[in-house]
Amino acid sequence: MSIPVALPDLSSAPSVRTEIPGPISRAIHERRMRTVARGVGSVLPVYIEYADGPWVTDVDGNRFLDLGSGIGVTTIGHGNPAVTAAAVEQLELVTHTLFTVTPYEGYVRLAERLAEKTPGDHEKRSVFVNSGAEAVENAVKIARRYTGRRAVAALDHAFHGRTNLTLAMNHKAAYGTGFGPFAPDIHRVPNSYPYRDGLTGEQAAQRTIAHLEQRIGVTDLAALIAEPIQGEGGFVVPAEGYLPALQEWCTRNGVVFIADEIQTGLGRTGTWFASERFGLVPDLVLTAKGIAAGLPLAGVTGRAEIMDAPDPGGLGGTFGGNPVSIASALAVFDELEHGDHFAEALRIGGRLQHHLTDLASRHPLIGDVRGMGAMYAFELSEPGTSLPASGAASAIAAFAAQHGILLLTAGSDSNVIRFLPTLTTTDDQIDIAMDVIDRALTTLG
Ligand SMILES: *Cc1c(COP(=O)(O)O)cnc(C)c1O
């Protein structure tokens, strides 16, 4: 669809002109139900025509403040001009040759940038693929090839994707219902969830390690994969010291420690990678979502000796490391390096924390407020308990949508509202959104 002739006024508040979804969206939705597979859901079937900065505008002319950024993808804002220019320039030069047939320099440059910015000053290598799940798949392949071991451990409340292997790694069974059989040798072990388990990082790590040693056995374990802050699981921030203890245990036992930074990475938490906030130097770091500001790209970056374990031909794929996606990613790296995005992420985090703490003091449904930088959430519990309040999160998101605010839910119990705003979101815009959420919570009583 073409860009509307009269661009919306981007400075002011959300603008809801029709019922949500509006009539044009509803008409498209009817066609969609006859042609698009039912298994592809849409949380809010408003059909988007145009996006800029923190705003998305639908086909009915409703403009929403997007506090989800397509699940943490357009971190530096929708339609970042530098990224668009880089992608257009690359489109005109060459769109595809396949790196494993005839390579191009951009791939090498992005590998250099990732080697520079991922934690640790050891020698590193990268491989690029198309999606987060594919990055997880490749990390597992590489770890198995390197260690010669088969088992892989993931944490409770983890989410790693929708391919067959990653379905076996997810906490939430609903992602995989009816899609088995699933890959063998995948294990899930307890995580650190301070709000629910009340454990210190050290206690939670001891519990996780006991499971690893007793239920899997070190000699069979190729890799442990962890999201530094769990994304779909509900922005679960582990207790201090938990992740470093796991990493230390992995290093001591020859287990590859994989940080899934697909949702947390690239400026989101106010540093290049959330691992830095936890003092982690992972063996492998996974990137996707925000890396190319919306173009499909994902990467596995890590220790040279591990990454180089597969023989030539062992890694790759037709579209992996597409030149246009790579050019966009290089522009994202330039933006993050030269802009003040990290400070903006921290500003946003501070504003969210301030408001959410205030809301929690007035609305007993809010049991916990947590996050880092522009990755914040609140968990809804039955008042006075830490038992999940069912239905409240989706009710708040629905209320917000009617008022022009796009919110995402999360959590294994779907009782978390998470914020993944673009780093271009202003304090005023956050204030407007928080007022809507305040009213939604009041409505819920
Ligand atoms: C989204 C996500 C994935 C899967 O990425 P896709 O690009 O959807 O395959 C994996 N891990 C985490 C932490 C994610 O947030």
Per residue in 324-338, pLDDT (tens digit) is 999 999 999 999 999
Q: Provide the pLDDT confidence category of residue 445 given band limits of 50, 70 and 90.
A: confident
- Choice among 5-19, 133-147, 370-384 with the minimum mean pLDDT: 5-19
| Distance from Cα 368 to the centre of ligand 1, integer Å | 24
Give me the mean pLDDT over the 425-440 stretch: 97
Q: How far apart are CA 177 and CA 316, in angstroms?
A: 29
| Distance from Cα 420 to the centre of ligand 1, integer Å | 14
| Cβ contacts of 409 within 8 Å, gap of 6 or more | 393, 394, 397, 415, 416, 417, 418
Mean pLDDT, the chain, rounded, equals 96
Task: Tell which residue, 151, 148, 422, 105, has the closest CA to residue 310.
Answer: 148
pLDDT of amino acid 147: 98
Q: How far apart are CA 429 and CA 406, in angstroms?
A: 12
Backbone phi and psi for residue 352, each to the nearest 5 degrees, phi listed first? -65, -45
pTM over 0.95: yes
Atom 10 of ligand 1 has which residue's CA nearest to it?
160
Peptide bond into 228 cis (omega under 30): no
| Distance from Cα 133 to the centre of ligand 1, integer Å | 6
Which atom of ligand 1 lies closest to the CA of 163? 9
For ligand 1, say whether the CB of 156 is within 6 Å of any of its atoms: no
Give me the mean pLDDT over the 194-208 stretch: 98
**CATH 3.90.1150.10 region(s) of the chain?**
23-79+341-444
| Distance from Cα 234 to the centre of ligand 1, integer Å | 14
For ligand 1, say whether the CB of 231 is within 6 Å of any of its atoms: yes
Residue 168 scores a pLDDT above 70: yes
Give me the mean pLDDT over the 300-315 stretch: 98
For ligand 1, say whether the CB of 133 is within 6 Å of any of its atoms: yes
Instruction: Dig out the tokens for 274 from the structure.
Output: 């959330």
**CATH 3.40.640.10 region(s) of the chain?**
84-338
For ligand 1, say whether the CB of 160 is within 6 Å of any of its atoms: yes
Atom 5 of ligand 1 has which residue's CA nearest to it?
132
Amino acid letter, residue 268: R
Scan for tokens 């040798």, then name that residue.
185
* Helical H segments across 94-237, by residue range: 105-117, 132-147, 164-169, 194-197, 201-211
Domain covering 23-79+341-444, topology: Aspartate Aminotransferase, domain 1 (3.90.1150)
Amino acid letter, residue 72: G
Cβ distance 306 to 82 under 8 Å?
no
For ligand 1, say whether the CB of 234 is within 6 Å of any of its atoms: no
Residues of the chain above pLDDT 70, percent: 97
Beta strands 284-287 and 124-129, pairing class: unpaired
CATH architecture of 84-338: 3-Layer(aba) Sandwich (3.40)
For ligand 1, say whether the CB of 227 is within 6 Å of any of its atoms: yes
